[in-house]
Amino acid sequence: MKSSSLQLRKISLIEYLLGIQDEKIFDKVESTIHKSLKSVKPVDIVFTKEELVERAEFSNKQIKKGHVLNQKELEDQSKNW
């Protein structure tokens, strides 16, 4: 699947989620997402070469802008994960 197609699907899903008014339905969707994420193992996550390069370039830009965390900040932030 092309990355642009996936991006469009993500945007469509976000728009759908924003339109949900029934909290019970939202809870079910949220629960399903959390269960699915727990079943994904790091080895199941595969990136194309282009995606890896894109991620690395983005990271380098963030570093140059000074958008980084020190070890303590990262540890504090990870407590909320």
Q: Residue 67 and residue 81: Cα distance in Å, rounded? A: 19
Residue 81 has pLDDT above 80, yes or no: no
Same-domain check for residues 29 and 63: no
The single residue listed with the structure tokens 């990355």 is 3
Q: How many CA atoms lie within 13 A of 5 on its CB side?
A: 2
Higher pLDDT, 18 or 3: 18
Average predicted confidence (pLDDT) for the chain = 87
pLDDT mean over 14-39: 91
Residue 68 belongs to domain spanning: 47-81
Same-domain check for residues 51 and 81: yes
pLDDT mean over 50-55: 91
Same-domain check for residues 2 and 41: yes
Supply the pLDDT for residue 2.
66
- Its pTM surpasses 0.75: no
CB 60 within 8 A of CB 54: no
